[in-house]
């Protein structure tokens, strides 16, 4: 794009024309061009013996072409990375090969080709875009932990740039074999990184794994609520449950009231149980024992917190710093022992929603995908409810099946690491995450609002180290015991368990303190 500005100055009786041509290179990212007319006024004072002072004004029209930048699509180079060229390098990621298939995450990183499945094709497109823009390829070693990842890291082999796994973020990865990602030179404040994970999982300035918009299984492992829309509309058609969520009025009390009003003892045996027969009871909520943990976190409580909400903050027990802990347990005892609230097996949760025998279900978001083939199923998505209307934010905890990436020190080129993961996360945010959200919104759920709810859920995730790192494993299990036994011993238990939790956290801090950041 070029801009030519011509300014003609007439002074007194002399006619002198000066032309200045200014050429400016165009913005490569622009797509929309507009022409703007600008009036330029030149004024000059001329004094002669017989005319005195006079002002000459000349109006010149300047035509300027203005280029407006379009919203990035993820198919163009990330600004600031125009010079990145990986020289044809192949980036190999070791994935988790889950035997039952639900948590195998190889397809988060690499797929074989286009299949007309939106998420699959978005992963393929991201990798293809990165290949063309930055001269590289991405491959996955499915089940790489067993195929040689650990051996490669131990021997200093740099074949793998990362590995995806579960459970071990605070244990095996804090071993000196994996980079502290906080020191890799990446701008982790960008929104394509999961900010809740960075804050929750970092301790004393160290973090040994990373989750970004490429981490689809970390989204799928988030604990949420489902509801059968036909069952809901049979009783609550006049209440917009999505608006309750927006207004921060979706609370435990509201959920408990709906459970009570929808329940129906169809077989007349004066009890509420899950069955699949023609005379099956209508339940208010079908879930598993993990929902106790889900409602505990959803109420704003934690097992482990930090001395300060920065990456330099230290892990400390949360149990003795939550004055409303006993009140929360009281309410959970009431809600979870309401007639029509049933805790059963994993498969029962899915069946209850699909068969229309339950209003609500509590499970991980991936269950929505597993129900995609059910005929005539209309289902919506909700965050876990607030404790009460005084709670400012929703909190949805992430199950320990969430996959994150660790980066081995055997891959020694730290500049390449920083560039690759920044670009991998950025292009995932533009290409993969939207496909994931839209698929859950339009294919797995049945309304536009569910996509809005999924965004709320993902942005409100909790990665509690007490649960994910098993630092507070005793209290984690005891929450369910108090609820099922209807005995609130929160104050006594939290004081007792805080001692062992603190010892666990101190041992972890000592372990990571011994790891040298100067790789």
Domain identity same for 135 and 206: yes
d(C-alpha 410, C-alpha 420), whole Å: 16
8 Å CB contact between 276 and 353? no
Please give the helix or strand (H or E) that residue 56 lies within, else none: strand 52-69
The answer to whether position 24 is within a domain reads yes
* Cβ-based neighbours of 510, under 8 Å, separated by 6 or more: none
The answer to whether position 511 is within a domain reads no
pLDDT at 347: 85
8 Å CB contact between 103 and 166? yes
8 Å CB contact between 443 and 373? no
pLDDT tier for residue 99 given thresholds of 50, 70 and 90:
low
Out of 16, 36, 70, pick the residue that ends a domain: 70
Considering the entire predicted model, what is its pTM? 0.83
Tokens of 426: 């950025």
Domain identity same for 59 and 146: no
Domain identity same for 211 and 253: no
The answer to whether position 507 is within a domain reads no
The answer to whether position 75 is within a domain reads no
CA neighbours closer than 13 Å in the CB half-sphere of residue 269: 10
Assess whether pLDDT exceeds 90 at residue 130.
yes
- Structural domain including 174 reads 89-215+402-438
Domain identity same for 95 and 185: yes
Domain identity same for 329 and 261: yes
- Residue-wise pLDDT tens digits, 34-84: 333 333 333 333 333 333 333 334 444 444 444 445 789 999 999 999 999
d(C-alpha 482, C-alpha 146), whole Å: 40
d(C-alpha 122, C-alpha 216), whole Å: 12
- Residue-wise pLDDT tens digits, 146-175: 778 989 988 999 999 999 877 667 877 778
d(C-alpha 511, C-alpha 471), whole Å: 14
Assess whether pLDDT exceeds 90 at residue 11.
no
pLDDT at 372: 87
Please give the helix or strand (H or E) that residue 461 lies within, else none: strand 461-462
The answer to whether position 422 is within a domain reads yes
Do the bridges between strand 396-397 and strand 283-287 make them parallel or antiparallel, or are there none, so unpaired?
A: unpaired
pLDDT at 69: 57
Domain identity same for 317 and 330: yes
Task: Give the domain CATH number at 270.
Answer: 3.40.190.10
Q: 88: how many CB neighbours lie within 10 A of its CB?
A: 9
8 Å CB contact between 86 and 131? no
d(C-alpha 176, C-alpha 61), whole Å: 67
- Residue-wise pLDDT tens digits, 202-235: 999 999 999 999 999 999 999 999 999 999 999 9
SS3 42: strand
Out of 14, 41, 70, pick the residue that ends a domain: 70
- Alpha helices, DSSP H only, in 90-117? none
Do the bridges between strand 283-287 and strand 341-343 make them parallel or antiparallel, or are there none, so unpaired?
A: parallel
Torsion of Cα atoms, 505 then 511 then 513 then 516, to 10° = -150
The answer to whether position 152 is within a domain reads yes
d(C-alpha 169, C-alpha 209), whole Å: 7
Assess whether pLDDT exceeds 60 at residue 7.
no
Average pLDDT, the chain: 85
8 Å CB contact between 54 and 45? yes
How confident is the model over 451-473, as a mean pLDDT?
93
Locate tokens 């009231």: which residue? Answer: 257
d(C-alpha 339, C-alpha 26), whole Å: 68
pLDDT at 382: 97
8 Å CB contact between 300 and 395? yes
Domain identity same for 484 and 406: no
Locate tokens 């080129």: which residue? Answer: 413
Locate tokens 């490669």: which residue? Answer: 152
Tokens of 26: 């165009």
The answer to whether position 239 is within a domain reads yes
- Of the listed ranges 73-82, 289-298, 434-443, the one predicted with least confidence: 434-443
The answer to whether position 162 is within a domain reads yes
- Residue-wise pLDDT tens digits, 228-261: 999 999 999 999 999 999 999 999 999 999 999 9
- Of the listed ranges 119-128, 213-222, 347-356, the one predicted with least confidence: 347-356
Percent of the chain predicted with pLDDT > 90: 66
State the DSSP string of 399-420. PTT--EEE-BTTS--HHHHHHH
8 Å CB contact between 225 and 360? yes
Assess whether pLDDT exceeds 70 at residue 518.
no
pLDDT tier for residue 376 given thresholds of 50, 70 and 90:
confident
Domain identity same for 64 and 94: no
* Cβ-based neighbours of 144, under 8 Å, separated by 6 or more: 92, 93, 94, 95, 160, 163
- Residue-wise pLDDT tens digits, 260-284: 999 887 777 666 677 776 677 788 9
Q: Which of 95-109, 179-193, 255-269 has the highest mean predicted lDDT (pLDDT)?
A: 179-193
Give, rounded to a whole angstrom, the gap between the first and last alpha carbons of the chain: 46
Domain identity same for 260 and 190: no
d(C-alpha 355, C-alpha 347), whole Å: 12
pLDDT at 471: 95
- Residue-wise pLDDT tens digits, 490-509: 999 999 999 999 999 999 99
C-alpha R_g of the chain? 30
Domain identity same for 278 and 150: no
Tokens of 299: 């109420």
Assess whether pLDDT exceeds 90 at residue 373.
no
Please give the helix or strand (H or E) that residue 396 lies within, else none: strand 396-397
Domain identity same for 291 and 381: yes
CA neighbours closer than 13 Å in the CB half-sphere of residue 251: 13
- Alpha helices, DSSP H only, in 364-518? 366-370, 414-438, 448-459, 465-468, 473-485, 490-513
Q: How many domains does the chain have?
A: 3
Domain identity same for 142 and 25: no
8 Å CB contact between 423 and 238? no
């Amino acid at each position: 794009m070029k801009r030519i500005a011509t300014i003609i100055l007439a002074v007194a009786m002399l006619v002198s024309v000066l032309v200045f041509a200014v050429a400016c290179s165009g913005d490569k990212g622009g797509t929309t061009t507009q022409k703007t007319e600008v009036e330029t006024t030149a004024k000059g004072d001329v004094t002669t013996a017989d005319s005195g002072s006079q002002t000459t004004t000349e109006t010149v029209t300047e035509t300027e072409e203005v280029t407006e930048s379009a919203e990035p699509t993820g198919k163009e180079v990330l600004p600031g990375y125009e010079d990145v060229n990986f020289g044809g390098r192949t980036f190999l990621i070791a994935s988790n090969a889950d035997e039952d298939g639900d948590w195998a995450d190889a397809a988060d990183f690499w797929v074989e080709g286009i299949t007309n499945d939106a998420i699959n094709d978005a992963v393929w497109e991201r990798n293809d875009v990165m290949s063309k823009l930055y001269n590289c390829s991405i491959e996955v070693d499915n089940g790489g932990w067993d195929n040689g990842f650990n051996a490669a890291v131990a021997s200093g082999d740099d074949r793998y740039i990362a590995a995806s796994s579960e459970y071990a973020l605070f244990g095996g990865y804090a071993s000196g074999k994996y980079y502290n990602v906080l020191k890799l030179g990446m701008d982790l404040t960008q929104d394509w990184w999961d900010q809740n994970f960075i804050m929750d999982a970092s301790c004393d300035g160290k973090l040994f794994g990373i989750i970004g918009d490429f981490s689809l299984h970390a989204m799928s492992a988030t604990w949420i609520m489902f509801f059968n829309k036909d069952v809901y509309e049979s009783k609550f058609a006049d209440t917009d449950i999505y608006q309750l969520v927006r207004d921060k009025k979706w609370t435990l009390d509201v959920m408990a009231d709906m459970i009570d009003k929808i329940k129906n003892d169809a077989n007349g045996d004066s009890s509420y149980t899950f069955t699949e027969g023609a005379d099956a009871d209508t339940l208010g909520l079908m879930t598993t024992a993990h929902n106790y943990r889900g409602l505990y976190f959803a109420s704003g409580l934690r097992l482990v917190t930090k001395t300060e909400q920065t990456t330099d903050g230290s892990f400390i027990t949360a149990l003795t710093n939550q004055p409303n802990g006993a009140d929360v347990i009281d309410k959970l005892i009431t809600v979870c022992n309401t007639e029509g609230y049933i805790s059963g097996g994993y498969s029962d949760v899915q069946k209850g929603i699909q068969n229309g025998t339950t209003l609500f279900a509590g499970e991980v978001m991936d269950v929505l995908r597993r129900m995609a083939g059910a005929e005539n199923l209309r289902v919506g998505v909700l965050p876990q409810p607030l404790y009460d209307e005084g709670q400012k934010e929703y909190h949805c905890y992430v199950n320990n099946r969430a996959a994150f990436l660790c980066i081995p020190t055997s891959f020694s080129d730290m500049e390449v690491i920083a560039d690759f993961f920044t670009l991998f996360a950025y292009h995932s945010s533009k290409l993969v995450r939207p496909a994931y959200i839209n698929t859950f919104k339009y294919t797995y759920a049945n309304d536009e609002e569910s996509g809005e709810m999924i965004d709320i859920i993902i942005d409100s995730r909790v990665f509690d180290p007490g649960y994910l790192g098993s630092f507070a494993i005793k209290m984690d299990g005891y929450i369910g015991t108090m609820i099922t036994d209807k005995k609130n011993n929160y104050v006594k238990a939290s004081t007792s368990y805080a001692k062992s939790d603190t010892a666990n956290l101190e041992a972890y801090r000592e372990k990571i303190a011994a790891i040298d950041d100067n790789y």
